[in-house]
Amino acid sequence: MSAWRQAGLNYINYSQIAARLVRQALKADLRVDAAKRDEVNVKFTQWKDGKPIKNA
């Protein structure tokens, strides 16, 4: 069994923790670029009858 599973984490939590630690370990100039990639944007699209519904 995986160590992260034994610790009670799911894979998503484990990977988020690992990514945060890697970003913290970077040199200052690289850390700024990595912080920019850390932002997440999500777009939701509603579908009806197999086609996306355009929001007005």
pLDDT tens per residue, range 5-47: 888 889 988 988 898 899 889 998 898 888 777 777 778 888 9
Backbone angles phi, psi at 39, to 5 degrees: -70, 145
| pLDDT for position 40 | 75
| Amino acid (1-letter code) at residue 41 | N
pLDDT at 56 over 60: no
The CATH classification number of 3-52 equals 1.10.1620.20
Q: How far is CA 26 from CA 3, 7, 15, 33, 40, in A?
A: 24, 26, 17, 10, 20
What are the structural domain ranges in the chain?
Answer: 3-52
| pLDDT for position 7 | 86
| pLDDT for position 25 | 93
pTM above 0.85, yes or no: no
